[in-house]
Amino acid sequence: MRTPSAGVTDRLTGLVHALRAHGLGIGTGESVDAGRALEAVGFDDRERMREALAATLLHQEGQRALFDRVFDLYFPASAGPVAEGAVEDTDTAELRERLAAALAADDRSALARLAGEAVGGLGGYGSSPGSDGWSSYQTLARLRPETLLARVRAMLQEAPAPDTEPDGPAFTDRLRDDEIRRRIEAFREQVRTEARRRVAERQGRDRVARRAVGGTADSVDFLLAGRAQLDELRKTVHPLARKLATRLAARRRRAARGRIDLRRTLRGSLSTGGVPMRPVLRRRRPGRPELVLLCDVSGSVAGFANFTMLLVQALHDQFSRVRVFAFVNRTDEVTDLIARGSADPAGLGARILSEAELTGWHGQSDYGSALGEFVERYADAVSPRTAVFVLGDARTNMTDPNLAALKLIRDRARRVHWLNPEQPSLWSTGDSAALAYAELVDMRPCRNARQLGELIGRLLPI
């Protein structure tokens, strides 16, 4: 068994620090276990090292993609100086032909070499003799591997076909195309990894690990999340709901003991010479609070609203009643749609927009009109037992913010919280009325699922 060298120790320490910077909870004990795992598996097989470190450092399946990207920076397949090529010296057509052959043969070692060659030849930018940096986007835009599907299919068709095709040629063709797309996407990821490695060699691994590696799904900004990231995020709804439900139950157990009843405590202290040896608690009345969500489902904030709706629906057992309202420039109740949409979370947003009456004569968000309609049609949903959560960026498209309607909701409710997916520095810019609304209700920034879970767990009434 070989002992890790100082260089390996530094790389492992850097890996742990980078993962912690992205929000992964890795303790000292786990770091020690990772070092022992490396001693056990050795350093000759890079993939075995990857699996050993993943097994000792990770807690959730959703953290694996982030781990792999950071691992590739600190334990790259190739290291040291990179050989930069010049764009004009690279024959793109010949490179594409070799790439197609490697994809058809599923030659992973050849694909790894081609990824390095492509980044070195097509991805360099800048005015220095070598290159100021490397771009995976530029490499893939010039190489266009996604357009090789037909060429790779033709190569595979030239190969000997299997003796049996149980479900017919159409089924076989579909499976083959799916496999080709998988190989192309794997190559695209190799290009991204190689570009990050080259940048890390010049700028430093720690800097690139912090800035150029995307975090876990729960740390992705709601306003910047793409479709794939939102799909990944939806998978975290039920685990997050279970964690929050456990936290709420513990808070209720503590709160059920109630506050000290000073009068009864002092009366009981007469038997101990006026010393309150046995505090008497004022018992709380049993009962669960009501919750109302008022959600802007227009534009880029729709992903934030839809995720929160699903989360609250998963928590509905914690409340006596949950009602959900969506709006663009009109407001409509979507409580039943949310309940039925839990089986198809990806299509929830489209179903709300198609089945609920959310827009009038224009399709832009209008907070003033939406708040006014909520007060006019659904004021009975708010009572002194109700906690109201408003979800939206408070951008009114230069329309009247209707502060009076929000004030009426605040006066009727137990409490009102506004969760804004924009950073506070933008609340006073453009058509944002966030600061005006913040003077009436508690407004908090909520930019990702991690922040949302913390806020929901802290702000939900008990």
Q: How does pLDDT run across 252-311, given as a tens digit for each residue?
A: 666 666 667 778 888 877 778 777 777 777 666 555 678 999 999 988 788 888 888 888
What pLDDT does residue 368 have? 93
Neighbours of 61 (CB within 10 A): 9
Tokens coding 306: 């839809």
Taking alpha carbons only, the member of 57, 50, 67 closest to residue 30 is 57
Mean pLDDT of 136-141: 84
CA distance 396 to 95: 51
Give, for 341, the enclosing helix (H) or strand (E): helix 335-341
Query: pLDDT digits over 424-454, tens only?
Result: 999 988 899 999 999 999 999 998 888 888 8
Taking alpha carbons only, the member of 315, 335, 275 closest to residue 459 is 315
Q: Length of the chain, please?
A: 462
What pLDDT does residue 164 have? 46
Contact by Cβ (8 Å): 57, 67: yes
**Residue 331: pLDDT over 50:** yes
CA distance 169 to 68: 37
**What are the CB-based long-range contacts (under 8 Å, 24+) for 232-241?**
232/62, 233/307, 233/449, 234/307, 234/310, 234/345, 234/346, 235/62, 236/62, 236/449, 237/307, 237/310, 237/311, 237/314, 237/345, 238/314, 239/60, 240/311, 240/449, 240/453, 241/311, 241/314, 241/315
Banded pLDDT at 401 (limits 50, 70, 90): very high
% helix, strand, coil for the chain, step of 5: 60, 10, 30
CA distance 97 to 103: 10
Q: For the residues of 378-398, what is the DSSP string, one character each? A: HGGG--TTEEEEEES--B-TT
Tell me which of 34-48, 82-96, 137-151, 447-461 is least confident: 82-96
In the block, tokens 């979800």 appear at 391
**Residue 108: pLDDT over 60:** yes
What pLDDT does residue 88 have? 44
Check the CA dihedral 126-131-134-137 and report its sign.
Answer: positive
Query: pLDDT digits over 185-235, tens only?
Result: 889 888 887 887 777 777 676 666 665 555 666 777 787 777 777 777 787
Mean pLDDT of 36-56: 88
How far from 33 is each of 52, 53, 54, CA to CA, in Å? Answer: 10, 9, 11
Contact by Cβ (8 Å): 35, 70: no
What pLDDT does residue 321 have? 86
Its pTM surpasses 0.85: no
What pLDDT does residue 69 have? 80
Q: Give the residue, 73 or 79, on which the prediction is more confident.
A: 73
**Residue 143: pLDDT over 60:** yes
What pLDDT does residue 213 have? 59
Q: Give the residue, 239 or 208, on which the prediction is more confident.
A: 239
CA distance 400 to 273: 65
What backbone torsions phi and psi does residue 391 show, to the nearest 5 degrees? -115, 120
Q: Give the residue, 435 or 9, on which the prediction is more confident.
A: 435
Q: For the residues of 191-204, what is the DSSP string, one character each? A: HHHHHHHHHHHHH-
**Residue 172: pLDDT over 90:** no
What pLDDT does residue 272 have? 80
What pLDDT does residue 237 have? 82
Q: What rounded mean pLDDT belongs to the chain?
A: 81
